[in-house]
Amino acid sequence: KDGLPNRPWFQHQIYAPGFYTGYGVKTLPGVREGIEQKQWKLAEEQIVRVGKVLENAGEAIQSAAAALSSGN
């Protein structure tokens, strides 16, 4: 899997150290940094990517909730 723009070793899409802020944490770093740098295409790509991550997380939570409620 690809990581964040300019730092592929960071793969967390919800929070990560900022590219320009060092260890300071940024939320939605790919999206925020794309917007801050006025790189609109990059920001749009990152919005789609984060959307998929959130959809997958939601599906996992729904599956876990269903398993818990059925006693499995």
- 2: in domain: no
Task: Report residue 64's pLDDT band, with 50, 70 and 90 as the boundaries.
Answer: very high
Instruction: Please count the structural domains in the chain.
Output: 1
pTM value > 0.95: no
Distance CA(7)–CA(3), nearest Å, equals: 7
- 6: in domain: no
Distance CA(11)–CA(2), nearest Å, equals: 7
In sequence order, what are the residues at sequence separation of 6 or more whose Cβ sits closer than 8 angstroms to the Cβ of residue 58? none
Tell me the residue range of the domain where 36 lies.
15-70
pLDDT digit string, tens, across residues 13-56: 999 998 888 788 999 999 999 999 999 999 999 999 999 999 99
- 7: in domain: no
Predicted confidence (pLDDT) at residue 3 exceeds the cutoff of 70: yes
- 49: in domain: yes
- 5: in domain: no
- 38: in domain: yes
Predicted confidence (pLDDT) at residue 72 exceeds the cutoff of 90: no
Q: Phi/psi of residue 17, each to 5°?
A: -60, 140
Question: Would you give the DSSP letter of residue 25?
Answer: E
